[in-house]
Amino acid sequence: MKEEEKHISKNDMFIENLSPTDFNSTIDRLSKEIANKSWTVSNISDLQGTLYKHGKEVLPIKVFSLCHPNHSSKILERDSERIISSLMPCRISIYEKYDGKTYVSRMNSLIIASSFGGIIKEVMTDSANEVEEIIEKTLRVD
């Protein structure tokens, strides 16, 4: 992936990549890579569709909520760690901008993981690395 195709926000909390394919193809490619890595899509939020129902028009945007039970169970089985459940599941957003291009964004979980220790840091780091692999393969130009 070319560096100019990757944008990290000023505060480093979010990462955005330009997709080499259109909106629907990016969704298809992401779905395939999620399955290949044995992750589960727990929900897909069609924000364009939701806003349209409320009389608002925005460009296409879908947010994928991903879960991997081997990772999430390590946190959710412990009362002391459940406090970070509001960061779960992992989310990947695919959207179009007015430039006509499709983008993929997500929270920079490695930054957040670095502020924790123990099992939270371990799980968030492992899951963030896997999500980055999924996105890298999604964005790979064949």
- Radius of gyration in angstroms for the set of CA atoms belonging to the chain, rounded to a whole number: 16
Report long-range pairs for 122-130 (Cβ below 8 Å, ≥24 apart). Answer: 122/74, 123/71, 123/72, 123/74, 123/75, 124/87, 126/71, 127/68, 127/71, 127/90, 128/90, 130/37, 130/39, 130/68, 130/71
Residue 133 has pLDDT above 90, yes or no: yes
Indicate whether 5 pLDDT > 70: no
User: Is the CA virtual torsion 18, 135, 104, 61 positive or negative?
Assistant: positive
Higher pLDDT, 126 or 115: 126
Tell me whether strands 14-18 and 102-107 are parallel, antiparallel or unpaired.
antiparallel
Our CA dihedral for 39, 43, 49, 52, rounded to 10 degrees, sits at -140
Report pLDDT for 36.
Answer: 94
Domains of the chain from N-terminus onward: 14-139 (3.30.310.70)
Contacts of 68 (CB under 8 A, 6+ apart): 37, 38, 39, 40, 127, 130
pLDDT tens figures, 15-62 = 999 999 999 999 999 999 999 999 999 999 999 999 999 999 999 999
Residue 128 has a pLDDT of 93
Query: In degrees, to the nearest 5, what angle opens at C-alpha 102 toward C-alphas 51 and 59?
Result: 20
Chain-wide mean pLDDT for the chain? 91
What is the share, in percent, of the chain residues with pLDDT greater than 70? 92
